[in-house]
Structure 1
């Protein structure tokens, strides 16, 4: 498979929302924080110093993830999604490999993520790619969050 990373352009903003809404609606519920970030991704992520990446395969966008700037020195790996039709094809691993490369090149940041233990495959991948569980703060940014992880390069 010829997977390629594409950086955010405003034309891709609807695909970012579409891919993420699909898994959120299937497994959880779309929270107000999700809606704000998904429907206003350029303002909420890009304009605040974050990044949005997409995975392209044969002209189709099949995956996405974002790095949301939480503080001047902390980025959250967030809104990682793979088109359901393309799951099981190692696209998530491709994205995490790209993330690792990005994190090595931008070592000035700490990288965190929030997830839910129900998403066992995702948690397994995060651990495989260098994330370790840390104490979840009392009021995490997502109601569904029951695990917080930090990337250890």
Structure 2
């Protein structure tokens, strides 16, 4: 498959940038690409953030990410895996979009990894175990997600 030639949107690594990434990837699929969802949704017994809380919670999360220097100072691979698992768990719980959250989470993880001097090898992604790790992370159990991210670095 040929590589995409269109550059990713630039931004300030904030929630507006995250939304721009979603728009970039899904603008040809969904007319609402990049827009915050307005419906309540969940998976299984887990409800994602209610629409009225998405924006303030996302802004809080991205402010925390900024205070952590976008994980650039994580240092060792294990520390980066732990810090990025924290971020993925939080943004997944917020779940800002109706569809495409997982794809944008991986895109942003790749960007964070490069910012910290690492590369994510998506060929190492194991969809089943990764999904189970994301489900566990919803309950603040991050060990499985840390291990899955570590495998991909």
| TM-score between both structures, scaled by the size of structure 1 | 0.37
Which one has the bigger strand percentage?
A: 1
Which one has the bigger helix percentage?
A: 2
| TM-score between both structures, scaled by the size of structure 2 | 0.37
Greater relative contact order (Cα 8 A, min sep 6): structure 1 or 2?
2
